[in-house]
Amino acid sequence: VSEGEAPVPEDESLAALRAAAAGCRRCPLWKPATQTVFGEGPDDARVLVVGEQPGDAEDLSGRPFVGPAGKLFDRALEELGLERARFYVTNAVKHFKFERRGKVRLHRSPDPSERAACRIWFERELATIRPHVIVCLGAIAAKAVFGNKFRLMEERGVWQTLPDGIRAFATVHPSWVLRQRGDDARHEAYANFVDDLSLLRGVRL
């Protein structure tokens, strides 16, 4: 562990991991961000959902997927009769990366070094929760789970089995759905998003 890197506890308790991640200095994203946004949900969840990184609302509240993307995700789960409280929800990168434009903070994609620096936290969450199923929201999450060769638009909505036996699939990021221009495109993107997530209907929770 080099100077500035938070020690990562080995004791596998989520509370200890969360506390250690709160002081993480492994990459420069901690500085402009308000706080680390760690995952949340039951520590024995069978389903783990992973997104990209917190957005503005998440950075301020300290909780994953509570802003517009999170609301869309909640709506999709509700339509499918799935309870988000049963899932452990987290992000591949735990600090909000942004660019200031006047009063607004615009999301910027985390670069490979930031993603690599943050990886330890996701790995420890996985080792602690040991989910049966992983759902990746968006390409950054999918690459964190399946590797950099993963092609989201070709492989979305299809079950894969990871080397450790965990079953996983990816779908688009809810922010991508919200960004589609025009009602038709947005409705279609949303319908396909819900269709991908309907794979969860067959999963024992």
The residue ranges that bind ligand URA (CB under 6 A) are 51-55, 58, 64-65, 67, 69-70, 91, 175
Q: Considering the complex, what minimum distance in angstroms separates the CB of residue 69 from ligand URA?
A: 4
How many Å from the N-terminal Cα to the C-terminal Cα in the chain? 37
Q: Which is nearer to ligand URA, 6 or 141 (CB)?
A: 141
Kindly state the smallest distance separating residue 67's Cβ from ligand URA, in Å: 6
**By beta-carbon distance, which residue lies closest to ligand URA?**
51
CB of 136 to ligand URA, least distance (A): 10
Closer to ligand URA by Cβ: residue 28 or 62: 62
Choose between 71 and 186: whose C-beta lies nearer to ligand URA: 71
Nearest approach in angstroms of CB 175 to ligand URA is 6
Rounded CA-CA distance 103/130 in Å is 41
Task: List the one residue out of 172, 178, 166 whose CA is nearest residue 194.
Answer: 172
Question: What is the closest distance, in whole angstroms, from the C-beta atom of residue 55 to ligand URA in the complex?
Answer: 4
> In the Cβ-directed half-sphere of 9, how many Cα atoms lie within 13 Å?
15
CB nearer ligand URA, residue 9 or residue 178 = 178
Long-range contacts of 25-33 (CB under 8 A, 24+ apart): 26/117, 26/118, 26/120, 27/95, 27/113, 27/114, 27/117, 27/118, 28/114, 29/93, 29/95, 29/96, 29/97, 29/110, 29/114, 30/95, 32/98, 33/59, 33/95, 33/96, 33/97
Q: How far is the CB of 53 from ligand URA (least distance, A)?
A: 6
Closer residue to ligand URA, CB minimum distance, 9 or 62: 62
Cα(22)–Cα(145) distance, integer angstroms: 23
User: 178 or 194: whose CB is closer to ligand URA?
Assistant: 178
Would you give the DSSP letter of residue 163?
Answer: T
